[in-house]
């Protein structure tokens, strides 16, 4: 029987059957040992072919989906990002964008329009998307005319109002790239390890099956990482380093404390660095510097789930229909970048980035253009508040800029430079 959190909307029969099929797949993986690391569970829940949350066809973004990203919330977000990217183009001599995990495609659509209005001629806009379902949705939004139009080359299309910019959909990182690599809310969806503190040690949290009254439910299991199971050595190495770094700044985690880290983060940053020949990587995500993320008061960690605009903390509820994320340790991002030969050229909050990047001017311009449309004007004002307010996205989301072989200072990072906190 499926586990559904109280007060969540019930799925229809097709969605329930989809989730049940993924539960069966996970249970099959558990049958041998009775244990899955949480990272393995999250990998299946989000990315199992045809069944995982990001691999299947359910609506995910916007009012009809499970959550709203900044790009869907307001065109102001992408317009400000586009202005900052134009400065990076000038620094590296290449006006190309590679967007990671483009989601609905809304960021790309708005950014392309912003580049077009500003008279910036892009040589290419590439979208790295491994989900066939999301790729189709992006192409429906970005390709001109009808969604059913046939194109001689499915990899390229004229985005219409955005100008004659070649669009490319990629399955993997290019070997060499010059320009700007951009990712919004990508890192927090990387499969994460989860831990609990017991007796001053970090115990590895995994997933097991509990049975009661013939009902199968997934549940948390904790065990010491003794090196006898796959992943234990890597877990131990990361755990040891984390405890050492926290102790160095006077932070001691209490017993019962839960936390997370993205398992493949270091390798992921290294792969981006290897691809980037010259230019910048601009990343925006929910997260904090290490000493703030692992503060003793944050005893429940940062694991969050989203289902039809309901946020909750049970990753075992409706797998395949539910998004699962964990906040990012931006100190780890900075360390991984430095190890890969990149420079940390900026770190700030979303509010700081947007204000420093001229969101007030962009707002005035868009409001003037839409002055006759009262609903549009009200939506712009509402979006502005939600993007900037500390209680919304303004403080929770951070921007980090990583560069290679360019010397640039972006106004978006000058208003509130938080690199010292890393």
Q: What DSSP state is assigned to residue 74? A: -
Position 220 scores a pLDDT of: 96
- Give the Cα separation of 216 and 330 in Å (integer): 37
Position 149 scores a pLDDT of: 34
What value does the mean pLDDT take over residues 407-412? 95
What value does the mean pLDDT take over residues 99-111? 95
What value does the mean pLDDT take over residues 131-139? 87
| CA dihedral of residues 261, 262, 267, 271 (deg, nearest 10) | -140
Of the candidates 231, 233, 232, 210, the one whose C-alpha atom is nearest the C-alpha of residue 220 is 210
What value does the mean pLDDT take over residues 288-292? 97
Backbone φ, ψ for residue 380 (5° rounding): -60, -45
Q: What DSSP state is assigned to residue 105? A: S
CATH numbers and ranges of domains, the chain: 13-64+192-263+297-327 (3.40.50.12710), 70-189+331-421 (3.40.50.12710)
First-last CA distance in the chain: 45
Summarised one tens digit per residue, pLDDT across range 43-84 is 999 999 999 998 875 555 555 555 688 999 999 999 999 999
Q: What DSSP state is assigned to residue 67? A: B
* SS3 at position 149: coil
Q: In what helix (H) or strand (E) does residue 193 lie, and over which residues does it extend? A: strand 192-198
- Give the Cα separation of 249 and 355 in Å (integer): 31
Instruction: Give the mean pLDDT of the chain.
Output: 89
* pLDDT at 6 > cutoff 50: yes
- Give the Cα separation of 162 and 115 in Å (integer): 7
Backbone φ, ψ for residue 372 (5° rounding): -80, -10
Burial state string for 16-55 with b = 16 or more CB within 10 A and e = fewer than 16: eebbbebbebbeeebeeeebbbbbbbbbbbbbbeebbbbb
* pLDDT at 328 > cutoff 70: yes
pLDDT band of residue 223 (cuts 50, 70, 90) is: very high
User: What tokens does 78 get?
Assistant: 């992408």
Q: Give the residue with greater pLDDT, 131 vs 161.
A: 131
């Amino acid at each position: 029987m499926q586990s559904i959190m109280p007060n969540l909307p019930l799925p229809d029969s097709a969605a329930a059957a989809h989730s049940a099929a993924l539960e069966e797949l996970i249970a099959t993986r558990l049958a041998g040992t009775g244990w899955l690391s949480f990272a393995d569970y999250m990998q299946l829940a989000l990315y199992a072919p045809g069944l995982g949350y990001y691999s299947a066809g359910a609506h995910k973004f916007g009012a009809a989906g499970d959550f709203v990203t900044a790009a869907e919330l307001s065109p102001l977000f992408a317009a400000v990002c586009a202005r900052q990217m134009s400065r990076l183009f000038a620094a590296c001599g290449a006006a190309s964008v590679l967007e990671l995990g483009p989601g609905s495609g809304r960021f790309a659509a708005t950014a392309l329009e912003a580049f077009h209005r500003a008279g910036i001629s892009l040589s290419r806009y590439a979208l790295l998307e491994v989900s066939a379902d999301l790729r189709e949705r992006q192409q429906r939004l970005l390709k001109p005319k009808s969604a059913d139009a046939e194109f001689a080359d499915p990899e390229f299309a004229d985005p219409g109002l955005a100008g004659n910019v070649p669009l490319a959909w990629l399955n993997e990182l290019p070997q060499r790239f010059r320009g700007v690599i951009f990712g919004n809310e990508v890192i927090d969806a990387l499969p994460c390890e989860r831990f609990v503190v017991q007796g001053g040690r970090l115990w590895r949290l995994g997933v097991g099956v509990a049975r009661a009254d013939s009902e199968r439910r997934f549940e948390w299991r904790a065990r010491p990482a003794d090196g006898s199971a796959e992943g234990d050595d890597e877990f131990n190495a990361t755990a040891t380093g984390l405890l050492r770094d926290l102790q160095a700044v006077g932070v001691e985690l209490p017993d019962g404390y839960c936390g997370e880290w993205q398992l493949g983060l270091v390798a992921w940053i290294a792969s981006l660095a290897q691809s980037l020949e010259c230019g910048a990587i601009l990343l925006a995500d929910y997260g904090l510097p290490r000493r703030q993320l692992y503060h003793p008061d944050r005893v429940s960690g940062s694991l969050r789930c989203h289902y039809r605009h309901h946020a909750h903390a049970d990753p075992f509820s409706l797998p395949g229909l539910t998004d699962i994320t964990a906040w990012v340790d931006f100190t780890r991002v900075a360390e991984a970048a430095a190890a890969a030969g990149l420079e940390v050229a900026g770190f700030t909050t979303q509010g700081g980035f947007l204000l420093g990047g001229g969101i007030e001017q962009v707002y005035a311009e868009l409001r003037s253009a839409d002055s006759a449309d009262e609903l549009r004007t009200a939506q712009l004002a509402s979006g502005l508040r939600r993007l900037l307010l500390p209680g919304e996205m303004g403080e929770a989301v951070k921007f980090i800029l990583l560069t290679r072989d360019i010397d640039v200072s972006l106004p978006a990072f000058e208003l509130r430079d938080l690199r010292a906190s890393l």
